Structure 1
Amino acid sequence: MLDALTLDQMRTFVTVVDSGSFRAAASKLYRVQSGVSVAIGNLEAQLGVLLFDRSGHRPVLTPEGRVLLSNARDILLRVDALRAKARGLGEGLELELPICVDTLFPIQQVGLAITRVRATYPSVTFRVAIEPLGGPLLALKEKRCTLAIMVGEDFRDPRITFEALCSVAQVAVVAAEHPLARQDISHNIGVMDLADHLQVVLSDPSEVSKGRDFGVLSPQTCRVSTQDAKHGLILAGVGWGRLPLWLVARDLSEGRLVRLETSSLGRKGEIVSEAYLAHRLDEPMGPAARKLAEVLAELSSGSDHIPTT
C-alpha cells in the first residue's frame, strides 16, 4: 500500500542515488548495508516497481527509478521546508518582518541584508517602506515596522534604541547646465548666490518635523515628497539641492551634475551624518529581526561610509 511509504525509505532511496552504492549510502546514513537494502526492497514492493538494476557491480536506476527520483526529491524538499518553518515558529520566528528605511540610505544595502537573512529564514516575508525625515521614527512609534534605518540626529524618542551603522555623506549639487554651475567656483559660493536660485527640498510627509526646515537657504523652493523626484528635478536643471553622495556619484563622474563649493552647507558643500538601526525598546526582536540587524552591522563594518558606486 502506498500509505505505508515512509520518509525514511525515500531519503534512503535518494541517498543511494547520490552516493552511488548501497555501501556508501549505509556509511552516510550510519547504518549497516543490509538495512539500506531492506529499506529499498520494501520501497520497491510498496511502489510495485524496481528502482534499481542490481545486475552490475553498482546499482543503476531503472527507467521507473529515474522518473520517481524527482518526485522523491520534491517530497523530501517540501518536508524539510515544513520542518524548518515549524522550527522557526517554535522559536518565535516572524511570519513577516516590516522595516522602514530613510531615503538617504541606499536600498541596495538593505537588499543585500535581506538576501542573507532569507538564506537562514526562507519562510519570512519582508515589507519595506522608504520614507524621508521623520517617517521612519513615526513608523516605529505607530508600530508599523519592527526595524527602521534612520539617518541623522534630528529625530529621537526615549522609547526607541539606536545602533550606529555607518556614515552617509550628502553633497550640494546642481545640473551642469545650470547658471550656478557656470559661475566662477574658484571662490566659495555664498548664501546670497544660492538664494538667487530655486532650491529643491524634500518634504516630511509625517508630522514629526512640522514647522521645521533642514538646510533650506533659498526663499525660492520646490518641495517634493521623494528622493527620486528631488534627484530627477535637479538633474533636469530645475534647481539646486543636497543629495546623498552614493546616489549622485556616477552623475558627478560623468559630468551631469556639479558639486557646489559652499561652506554654507558644510565644508565644500558636504555634510556627513550617521545612519542608525532603530527599534522599540518595548518590542523584543524575533530571530529574523536580530539576524537582519547582525547582517546590516556586518555589511557596514567594512567601511565608515556608504559606498558611492
Structure 2
Amino acid sequence: MLDALSLDQMRMFLTVAETGSFRAAALRLGRVQSAVSHAIARLEDTLGVALFDRGGHRPVLTAEGKALLVHVRDVLLRVDALRARARGLGSGVELELSLTVDVLFPPLLLGAALAETSAAYPSVGIRLSAEALGGPVTALLDKRSQLAIVVGESFRDPRIALEALTAIDMIAVVAASHPLARAPGPLDAAALADHLQIVQFDPSPLTGQRDIGVVSPRTCRVGGQDIKHAMILAGLGWGRLPGWLAAEDLARGRLVRVGTGVLGRQARLPMEAYLGHRLDEPLGPAARSFAAALARLCAGAEATPETTKASP
C-alpha cells in the first residue's frame, strides 16, 4: 500500500542517490548502514519496483529509480518548505539579517531598502557581503546568508525560491581613448576578439570553470566590478558593466558603447535580478520587511537611469 510510504524512507532514498552508496548515506544521516538498506528494501516493496541495481560495486539507480527520484525530491522540498513556513509563523524578530548581493546590483537601491528595514527593526543587526556570479546562490546553499540577490539565469537551484526584482542593463563599453572606440562599426566577433576583454571571474564552484559572456580569447580576469570599471576606464580593454555603474562615464564621454550588435542591441543586454531564499529556511519579520521594501523600491526605480539602467 502506498499509504505505507514514509518521509524517512524517501529521505534515505534521496540520500543514497546523492551520495552513491548505502554506507555514505548512513554516515550523512547518522544511521547504521543496515537500517538504510532495510528502509530502501521496504520502499521498493511498497512501490513494487527496484530503485537500485545492486549488481555492481556501488548501487546504481534503475530507470524506475531515476523517474521516481524526481518526485521524491519534489515531495521532500515541499515538506521542508511547509516546516519552514510553520516555524516562521511562530518566530520572533531575528537577531541578524544576513544578505549576499550580486556585485551587479545597484547599491543605492539596496541601501535604501536596508535603511527602511533598520528603521523598522533597530535591534536587528545587518551582515552584508557582495559576491559575483554564483557567489550569492552558494551563500544560500551553504547557509551563510538568509537572503541573496541573484542576477541572471545561470544559477537556479530547486532548493531556492526566487522573486524577480528588476532588470539590470549590461552595457559593452570601452574607454574613449581605446582603438575600439574609433573603429568603424558594426564590429563583428572577430574584431572584438582582437582586443583584450575585461571579465569578472567566479570564485564559487557553480560555473564549473565555464566562461560566461566571454568573447575574446585574450582576457583580464578581475575579482570585482570596481576594479573592472577602473581597468576599462584606463584603456586596458573592453567589457560589460552594469548600466548604473557606467551611466556617468557614458554621459561625460569617458566611456563609449562598443559599436557592435554581437553583444545585444546597442551593445546592451538586460539581465533580471532576483531576491532568493532557501525553501527550507523561514524568513523572520525583518527579512520579510526588507524583501517587501526592496520589491517596492525596485518597482519605483524601473524608469530611473541612475539606478538600474544606463542613459540612452
Flag whether TM exceeds 0.5 (same fold): yes
Residue ranges of structure 1 left out of the alignment (5+ in a row): 1-89
Give the Cα separation in 1 of the matches to 2:289 and 2:117: 6
Give the Cα separation in 1 of the matches to 2:158 and 2:91: 29
| 1:1-309 → structure 2 map (5 Å cutoff) | 92-184=92-184, 187-304=185-302, 307-308=305-306
- 1:292 maps to a residue whose letter is F
Give the Cα separation in 2 of the matches to 1:154 and 1:306: 26
Give the Cα separation in 2 of the matches to 1:230 and 1:306: 24
- 2:163 maps to a residue whose letter is E
- Report the number of matched residues: 218
- 2:287 maps to a residue whose letter is A
Give the Cα separation in 2 of the matches to 1:233 and 1:302: 32
Give the Cα separation in 2 of the matches to 1:305 and 1:148: 23
RMSD: 1.3
Give the Cα separation in 1 of the matches to 2:125 and 2:305: 27
- Per-residue CA deviation, residues 239-297 of structure 1 (Å, 9 max, x unaligned), is 00000011010000011101012111111211001110000000000000000000001
Give the Cα separation in 2 of the matches to 1:139 and 1:151: 14
Give the Cα separation in 2 of the matches to 1:234 and 1:131: 20
CA spacing shift, 1:229–1:295, aligned 2, 3 Å: same
Which one has a bigger Cα radius of gyration? 1
- 1:301 maps to a residue whose letter is A
- 2:173 maps to a residue whose letter is V
Give the superposition deviation at 1:302. Answer: 1.6
Give the Cα separation in 2 of the matches to 1:182 and 1:176: 8
- Per-residue CA deviation, residues 202-257 of structure 1 (Å, 9 max, x unaligned), is 00011110221111111110001111111110000000000001101000001110
Give the Cα separation in 2 of the matches to 1:227 and 1:94: 31
Give the Cα separation in 2 of the matches to 1:282 and 1:306: 35
Give the superposition deviation at 1:306. Answer: 6.3
Give the Cα separation in 2 of the matches to 1:216 and 1:306: 29
Give the Cα separation in 1 of the matches to 2:91 and 2:120: 13
Contact 1:132 1:204 in 2 (8 A): yes
The residue aligned with 1:11 is none
Contact 2:247 2:305 in 1 (8 A): no
| Matched residue SS, 2:156 | coil
In the superposition, the TM-score normalised over structure 1's length comes to: 0.69
Give the Cα separation in 2 of the matches to 1:287 and 1:106: 24
Give the superposition deviation at 1:102. Answer: 0.4
Residue ranges of structure 2 left out of the alignment (5+ in a row): 1-89, 308-312
